[in-house]
């Protein structure tokens, strides 16, 4: 398990390459849910996703031998952008990234600005991950794991440090969970410094890999997700988040439906003028759908990413208007 000292070290390591994202007080959302809601705007990070933190820390800690062989990774999109940015900032080459053919176009198009080789394979993250592992075995490239590496997790954990610095009396933090690296880093940082803060995992009901892993006492590293707009949260979890949940670093796991996530995207656009992808909206979805009882509490929802296809965004934003017209 990653330690607080490693997270503090990561904060110093990555500080020159990114910026501290705001923690924004959301009065309108607070009124709707009966809690003091604050939004951690990781969708405003340089690559529009928190994933940059972990990729930068992991790649900054590469040995000379690892750098000499270049890097390879697999990603549904946001981790790929983080690796691409880190490769440019740290002058690491070559960088090869495997993405599923179903990866959102908004994310894949952004990769073109970075010095990376993109290979689209398969239909799921797991397909891309297997292809990246095979490439690593063939070439000796250094594998940059998206979520199940302590160095990556330490980078993600810097979000927790920033939340505590900006809101020391926070009561609960809602964290989107796909592979689980972000919630592990946040949980270790926050529970070490403020043990009473509740850490709540939020997953799409279409891919409840963490919930099912805990229910079955078996870590589902691969998971056959149903269709979901939360592409960054689809699939299996890592061993680190399974262990963290077993150690009670995670207080609860809640699931949100697709229509609830779409409603959260609309609410964030309408009340905050903030654009968030499905994966980044699930924490707000859980609040609006009353999936958690946090009445009267000071709550942070991590908006983990904002890389959403414009076509999907337009479809979601017009749904409410169509329903009013039909009714």
pLDDT in tens, 35-75: 999 999 999 999 999 999 999 999 999 999 999 999 999 98
CA 188/CA 2 separation, integer angstroms: 7
* Structure letter (DSSP) for residue 76: S
CA distance 144 to 136: 10
Q: Are residues 301 and 265 in the same domain?
A: yes
**Which of 123, 143, 163 is the last residue in one of the domains?**
143
* Length of the chain (residues): 327
Is 51 one of the annotated active-site residues of the chain?
Answer: yes
pTM: 0.94
Give the orientation angle of helix 4-14 with respect to helix 51-60, to 10 degrees.
Answer: 90
What DSSP state is assigned to residue 252? E
Query: Where is the domain boundary, 86, 108, 143?
Result: 143
Question: Does the annotation mark 49 as catalytic?
Answer: no
Q: Count the neighbouring beta carbons within 10 Å of the beta carbon of residue 251.
A: 15
Sign of CA dihedral 208, 214, 216, 221: positive
Helix (H) or strand (E) holding 161: helix 150-166
Domain boundary among 143, 162, 187: 143
Distance CA 137, CA 133 (A): 6
Q: Which domain holds residue 215?
A: 4-50+150-323
- Name the catalytic one among 40, 51, 110, 191: 51
Percent of the chain whose predicted confidence (pLDDT) is above 90:
90
- Among 1-10, 98-107, 125-134, 251-260, which stretch is predicted with the lowest mean pLDDT? 98-107
Q: Are residues 58 and 123 in the same domain?
A: yes
Output the average pLDDT for the chain: 95
Per-residue model confidence (pLDDT) at position 321: 59
């Amino acid at each position: 398990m990653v330690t607080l000292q490693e997270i503090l070290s990561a904060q110093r390591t990555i500080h020159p390459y990114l910026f501290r994202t705001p923690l924004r007080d959301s009065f309108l959302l607070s009124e709707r849910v009966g809690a003091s809601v604050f939004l951690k705007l990781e969708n405003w990070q340089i690559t529009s996703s928190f994933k940059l933190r972990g990729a930068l820390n992991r790649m900054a800690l590469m040995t000379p031998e690892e750098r000499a062989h270049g890097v390879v990774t697999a990603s549904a999109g946001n981790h790929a952008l983080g690796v691409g940015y880190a490769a440019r900032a740290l002058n690491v080459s070559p960088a090869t990234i495997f993405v599923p053919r179903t990866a959102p176009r908004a994310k894949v198009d952004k990769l073109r600005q970075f010095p990376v080789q993109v290979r689209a394979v398969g239909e799921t993250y797991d397909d891309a991950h297997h292809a990246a592992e095979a490439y690593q075995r063939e070439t000796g490239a250094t594998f940059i794991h998206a979520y199940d590496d302590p160095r990556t997790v330490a980078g993600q954990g810097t979000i927790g440090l920033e939340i505590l610095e900006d809101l020391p009396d926070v009561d609960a933090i809602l964290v989107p969970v796909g592979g689980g690296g972000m919630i592990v880093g946040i949980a270790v940082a926050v529970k070490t410094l403020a043990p009473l803060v509740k850490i709540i995992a939020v997953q799409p009901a279409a891919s409840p890999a963490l919930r099912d892993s805990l229910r079955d006492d078996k870590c589902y590293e691969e998971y056959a997700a149903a269709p979901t707009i939360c592409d960054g949260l689809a699939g299996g979890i890592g061993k680190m988040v399974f262990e963290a949940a077993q150690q009670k670093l995670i207080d609860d796991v809640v699931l949100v439906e697709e229509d609830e996530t779409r409603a959260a995207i609309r609410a964030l656009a309408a009340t905050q003028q903030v654009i968030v992808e499905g994966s980044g909206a699930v924490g707000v979805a859980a609040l609006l759908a009353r999936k958690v009882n946090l009445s009267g509490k000071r709550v942070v929802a991590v908006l983990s990413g904002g890389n959403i296809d414009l076509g999907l965004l337009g479809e979601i934003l017009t749904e409410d208007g169509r329903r009013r017209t039909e009714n």
